[in-house]
């Protein structure tokens, strides 16, 4: 029998956060750091729970340097060489390595590379945080690999995804033994999965539902993809996401790597592309394999200056949102949020 779910699922653009009376007098009273404990990893992290995506343009060593100084997380892309990772983790480069996630896919090559690197850096940085990342987290093999990584690296904070539904969130926490489940399919700025496959799930509902499942089991979720403005980040936290991952909002900052366009040696714009785009596959895998299609696109984004400025803007917005809803700390954001379903989020007269 064919099925249809009639309840309408929501995206960030379908809601606003309702303001509430509060005792907060100033944005400076808001704490946007959060201390995390994890279900499996014994590690504690005291951080601002915002992550830069492990895309090869934004998930760079330079990004890690800037963001770790601000208390935010960088998920490094997986295309650096083993030696580059080893140098990164073993050198005294003023980067707090707890604020970095090492990315890995499910291929044997990826796992072997991880084991090799982690063995060599053991003395300097035992059990780095791991981001086990695939486009489709619904395969049996994916859960097995997550579990295998947990056995190999029991003390690592392991984030695994992407999924968008409760049963797979539960599966990844219970049997994959992931600490954090990454949520989002088709919501990304340079993602074309919804166009190429018709598959997806509105991001806000996905986050709310997966967070509910994860929190019931002592796990966490990270909302990945679809934040276009700072308000969307606030809405993701409002939907009970523990972490929020961003790609496009950091694309075009100084810390990015890739094809820059220059005008008289000044950066003007950057080519930003999905990690499943034709561009990425040509760069890293010698082209698009015959049996698949690209599920990402390339765009040109304007130069935005230093990542620090983007961080300021995000944290300012988050603090302000906290004062509007009476959340003294980011941890309470979800608890304090009531959403209103809307037809219109803002005035577009000057857009």
Q: For residue 311, which of 209, 198, 230, 237 has the smallest C-alpha distance?
A: 230
Residue among 234 and 327 whose Cβ is closer to ligand 5GP: 234
Whether residue 205 contacts residue 10, with contact meaning beta carbons closer than 8 Å, is answered with yes
- Tokens standing for residue 239: 């939907």
Q: How far is the CB of 263 from ligand 5GP (least distance, A)?
A: 25
Pairing of strands 260-263, 73-75: unpaired
Count of residues interacting with ligand 5GP (CB under 6 A): 24
Please give the Cα distance from 20 to 341 (Å, whole number).
16
Q: Please give the residues from 110 up to 139 whose contact with ligand 5GP meets the rule CB under 6 A.
A: 135
103 binds ligand 5GP, rule: CB under 6 A: no
Q: Write the interaction track for ligand 5GP spanning residues 152-181; mark x where CB under 6 A is met and - where it is not.
A: ----------x-------------------
Please give the Cα distance from 116 to 86 (Å, whole number).
10
Q: How far is the CB of 259 from ligand 5GP (least distance, A)?
A: 16
Among 67, 121, 191, 325, the residue binding ligand 5GP under the rule CB under 6 A is 191
13 binds ligand 5GP, rule: CB under 6 A: no
Give the neighbor-by-neighbor strand order of the sheet with 260-263: 260-263, 266-273, 298-302
Q: How far is the CB of 326 from ligand 5GP (least distance, A)?
A: 28
191 is catalytic: yes
Among 128, 184, 239, 252, the residue binding ligand 5GP under the rule CB under 6 A is 184
Whether residue 278 contacts residue 286, with contact meaning beta carbons closer than 8 Å, is answered with no
49 binds ligand 5GP, rule: CB under 6 A: no
Active-site residue, selected from the candidate residues 66, 169, 193, 253: 193
If one counts every other C-beta atom within 10 angstroms of the C-beta of residue 194, the result is: 15
CA 32 vs CA 27, 44, 258, 336: distances in Å = 10, 16, 31, 14
If one counts every other C-beta atom within 10 angstroms of the C-beta of residue 286, the result is: 8
31 is catalytic: no
Residue among 32 and 134 whose Cβ is closer to ligand 5GP: 134
203 binds ligand 5GP, rule: CB under 6 A: no
Stretch of 88-96, 241-249, 256-264, 329-337 contacting ligand 5GP, by CB under 6 A:
241-249
What are residue 302's DSSP bridge partners? 269
Active-site residue, selected from the candidate residues 75, 114, 131, 191: 191
If one counts every other C-beta atom within 10 angstroms of the C-beta of residue 282, the result is: 12
Pairing of strands 73-75, 50-52: parallel
334 binds ligand 5GP, rule: CB under 6 A: no
The set of catalytic residues is: 191, 193
Applying CB under 6 A, the residues found at the interface with ligand 5GP are 53, 55, 135, 162, 184, 188-191, 193, 224-227, 245-248, 274-277, 295-296
């Amino acid at each position: 029998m064919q099925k249809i779910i009639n309840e309408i699922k929501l995206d960030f653009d379908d809601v606003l956060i309702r303001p509430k009376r509060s005792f907060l007098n100033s944005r400076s009273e808001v704490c946007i750091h959060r201390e995390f404990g994890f279900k499996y990893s014994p590690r504690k992290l005291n951080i601002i729970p915002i992550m830069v995506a492990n895309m090869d343009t934004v998930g760079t060593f330079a990004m890690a340097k800037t963001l770790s100084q601000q208390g935010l997380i960088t998920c490094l892309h997986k295309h650096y060489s083993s030696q580059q990772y080893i140098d990164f983790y073993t050198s005294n480069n003023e980067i707090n390595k707890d604020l970095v996630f090492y990315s890995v896919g499910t291929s044997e090559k990826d796992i072997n590379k991880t084991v090799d690197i982690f063995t060599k850096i053991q003395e300097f940085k035992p059990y780095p945080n791991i981001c086990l990342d695939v486009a489709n987290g619904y395969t049996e093999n994916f859960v097995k690999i997550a579990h295998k990584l947990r056995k190999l690296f029991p003390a690592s904070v392991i984030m695994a995804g992407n999924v968008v539904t409760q049963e797979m969130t539960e599966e990844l926490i219970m049997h994959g033994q992931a600490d954090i489940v990454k949520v989002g399919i088709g919501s990304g700025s340079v993602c074309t999965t919804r166009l190429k496959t018709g598959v997806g799930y509105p991001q806000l509902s996905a986050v709310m539902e997966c967070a509910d499942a994860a929190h019931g089991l002592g796990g966490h979720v990270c909302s990945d993809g679809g934040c276009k403005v700072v308000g969307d980040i606030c809405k993701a936290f409002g939907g009970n996401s523990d972490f929020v991952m961003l790609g496009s909002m950091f694309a075009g900052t100084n810390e990015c790597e890739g094809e820059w366009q220059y005008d008289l040696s000044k950066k003007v714009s950057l080519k930003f592309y999905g990690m499943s785009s034709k561009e990425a596959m040509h760069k890293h895998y010698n082209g698009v394999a015959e049996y698949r299609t690209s599920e990402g696109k390339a765009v040109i984004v304007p130069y935005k200056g230093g990542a620090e400025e983007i961080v300021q803007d995000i944290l300012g917005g988050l603090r302000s949102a906290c004062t509007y809803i009476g959340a003294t700390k980011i941890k309470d954001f979800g608890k304090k949020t009531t959403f209103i379903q809307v037809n219109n989020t803002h005035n577009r007269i000057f857009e």
